[in-house]
Amino acid sequence: MNEIHRINPPTSVVLSERKYPVITNEPSWSQIFAGLRSDDYKLLLQSTAIGAPIGYWIGSKSHATRQGMIVGMLMCGGAGLAQVVQVSAARLLGVLENEAEYKQFVERPGK
């Protein structure tokens, strides 16, 4: 069972047991980006693409549609990138299913 231990600050929660094997306790940026799956790239592309019409719609109110599209794509793309990094790091930490990452980083570490 997962026991929850509260630590300071009180908004932080740490799980004592993880459901999946822990690949690393402190994933580096290179490990996070190396562990991206095709679904992660799809999420990043979708979030960036949805930013264009949103930015166009918001920019049309002030006659700045092109700039609105660019800003919308950057903002939604940044949010998508943050989500992708969080999901990839969670797989490396053993919080989410990580069979592919386990094979990539543990079973074949030199390749």
Residue 7 located in a structural domain: no
Residue 3 located in a structural domain: no
Total structural domains in the chain?
1
User: In a 3-state reduction of DSSP, which class is residue 62?
Assistant: coil
pLDDT 10s digit of each residue in the chain, 111 long? Answer: 556 555 555 555 555 567 888 888 889 999 999 999 999 999 999 999 999 999 999 999 888 999 999 999 999 999 999 999 999 999 998 888 888 888 888 877 655
Among the listed residues 18, 42, 7, the one whose alpha carbon sits nearest the alpha carbon of residue 90? 18
Residue whose tokens read 């918001």: 58
Domain residues for 77? 21-107
